[in-house]
Amino acid sequence: MWEMTQPTIYESYFEARLREAACRDEVAAPATIGSLAESLSSYLTEPQVADIERAFEFAREAHDGQMRRTQHPYITHPLAVAKILSEMRMDDQSIAAALLHDVLEDTGATKDRLAEDFGEGVAGIVDGVSKLATIFNTHEQAQAENFQKMAMATARDLRVILVKLADRLHNMRTIGALPGHKRRRIAKETLDLYAPIANRLGMHNIKVELEDLAFDALYLLRSDRLRRAVAAARGNRKALMDELGTSIEAALRREGIDAAVRGREKHLYSIYAKMKTQRKSFTEIMDVFGFRIVVDQVDACYRALGVMHNLYKPVVGRFKDYVAIPKANGYQALHTTLFGMHGVPIEVQIRTRQMNAVADHGVASHWFYKSAAESYNGGEARARQWVQGLLELQQRAGDPLEFVENLKIDLFPDEVYVFTPRGDILELPRGACAIDFAYAVHTDIGNHCVACRIDRALAPLSRQLQSGQTVEILTTKDARPSPDWLTFAVSGRARSSIRQALKVQQRSESIALGKALLDRSLRNANTSIKSLDFRRLRKVFREFGVRKLNDLLAEIGLGNRLAYVVAQRLLSADDPNYEAVDIERGGPVAIRGGEGLVISYGRCCGPVPGDAVIGHMTPERGFVVHMDTCPNLEEVRRRKPNEIIPARWAESITGEFDTSLLLAVRRRKGVIAQVAASMNESNAGINNIHVEERNAELSNITVDLSVADVSHLNRIVRRLSAISTVQNVRRPAVA
């Protein structure tokens, strides 16, 4: 409450501190190329360092006269970004691109000039991190467009995202120089996108710093209070940490295991996030002591684990083996939780030195330890596979905003690890189901999925998967994605694939329906679509705002245009001597029962095969089928009779159709069970039962059920009517 009632003075104080920190960081950046070149010479050749010095001179001249908000020369920013990458021991092209990363956006330099002077590789990276020179309607649209551009460049060259992360890291270090509203927007964007991306690429150090800096920028008072509380707790627990660390080192030494034991402290944002999501107090979070054990060889990890479990009692269910099954970002370690001395919980991570390097630097460790590159191919390959997946997300997304939405979903920090029937391991986001698994295997598997087996037992497609399960997908050639899948699929790849398939499915169905409706109208004029000369009808297409026949048919099928209006216009354009005839009425539309997106069924009346049906066109929804007695169509019949279209069921129909029954029953114990049992004996699928009290003696029951046809429904009605407590049974659309 104190934070809410006293914001002005204290926020001003903390904002001043942020501005001071921004200026200090800007001053700390190398003012000349000298200190950067000196650090680069430790791992790059002289010609490579010379090329980087040329890039610096180019950038310095291009940015001449430009200043940062901290009132320091602009060149300090590219130098700081290059310094961050040099600490990762990135290659010469990445360092040169870091020095040049703003010249396309903020100066008159061109990509062709950069390619000519520094090579296509450097020019491609710089272009990838540069924003689009376009005016957008909203900031969200601009962010999405620019992020999509960068993601596509990253798919071609992984170094693009590494330069962008270093750029964002330095901008966050100096964010205090920005006005409050802009600072908060950039900090939120960092937490939503850039910190999760750093985590997805395994770059723990950058992820932690980005989160803590964004936390400072978003929540000034909370971060300061938490920092003070952590400092106080650190002092109180130092003696116990030292005692625990000494005990662990001694136990490992007795077993001849050469290991480095380090106390591990949670960073500020991690503490804050756990307090918020797990609803725990600060004391509960800080009561857990963390240690990291770093050894030389993989087998020593498991030996050290045995020592820990002998030294302190392990907590059941809190052991994770990320060595045998690495995380999606390449992270490897053994995790266990122990009851330490005095009953204090201890979280222990056990890694090799190489695993520790990958955990800190992620995909950047490929450049950091080139001499041991083979040791990191697994993590790098996973990162590159994820980045290539960005291309699929982009291709299936309807627009950049949808792409960014799918990307955020794909950046879940937790994964589940499941097996294919052949024993291959797939990583999926927490909460994933069999649909996510199917699309992770292959898009075609997902699109034709009909059922699944989890650990050899049939299970619903919506069931959430747990690590260690074996999943098998059953497919059929004629199966298609359902819109309902979007309610339980969680992975970005699955959701974007489903949306793309539904768009294609909707278009093909709308074209087929549009063709049937247009032919129906043309039949009364003794012609058909095939008989028209479409070379003379291009002008009509332009009038309707379409380019080709299929586009026009899709518009009709979706209900955006009426078939008889289109038919009249086509006939008059095709034949100058055409005399208008009444083509508003035609034969009924055949309903086959397998329709999904463009032919739907009114929920108000629930038509089933065997019912007399009619339909009407609804914009964007297409053809909606109703019983001809449905009261909801009375208004349409009166005001827009031309929109009512006769329909009939096709000869052979299979499947289940949703409908409803209304029951009036006497209030007796067990009546609901009797109704459900009777329907179950009739092989009806019960979707929902709703009971509403009518008076002291009677209740109304609405049952939503699935049946094969009207004969099946009539059998169910007869069974229900035979129950002594049931007074009457009727359908909603039947008076």
- Residues annotated as catalytic are 105-106
Cα 297 to Cα 247, 251, 300, 352: the distances in Å are 22, 18, 5, 6
As a whole number of angstroms, the distance between CA 449 and CA 380 comes to 31
Which helix (H) or strand (E) segment holds residue 168: the answer is helix 159-173
Burial of 53 (0-12, 13-18, 19+ CB in 10 A): middle
Of 617, 615, 714, the closest CA to residue 659 belongs to: 714
Backbone φ and ψ of 479, nearest 5°: -70, 150
Q: Are 198 and 359 in contact (CB under 8 A)?
A: no
Collect all residues with Cβ–Cβ distance below 8 Å to 122 and sequence separation of at least 6. 55, 93, 96, 97, 100, 114, 115
Q: Are 598 and 513 in contact (CB under 8 A)?
A: yes
Per DSSP bridges, beta strands 599-601 and 622-627 are: parallel
Collect all residues with Cβ–Cβ distance below 8 Å to 90 and sequence separation of at least 6. 159, 162, 364, 367
Per DSSP bridges, beta strands 589-591 and 644-649 are: parallel
Of 656, 552, 562, the closest CA to residue 606 belongs to: 656
The total of other beta-carbon atoms located within 10 Å of residue 344's CB is: 17
Of 116, 156, 45, 388, the closest CA to residue 100 belongs to: 116
Long-range contacts for 628-634 (Cβ within 8 Å, ≥24 apart)? 629/605, 629/733, 629/734, 629/735, 630/602, 630/604, 630/605, 630/733, 631/604, 631/733, 632/602, 632/604, 632/605
DSSP string covering 287-340:
TSEEEEEEESSHHHHHHHHHHHHHHSEEPTT--EETTTS--TT----EEEEEE-
- What is the Rg, in whole angstroms, of the alpha carbon atoms belonging to the chain? 33
Q: What 3-state class would DSSP assign to 174? A: coil
Which helix (H) or strand (E) segment holds residue 540: the answer is helix 538-543
Collect all residues with Cβ–Cβ distance below 8 Å to 371 and sequence separation of at least 6. none
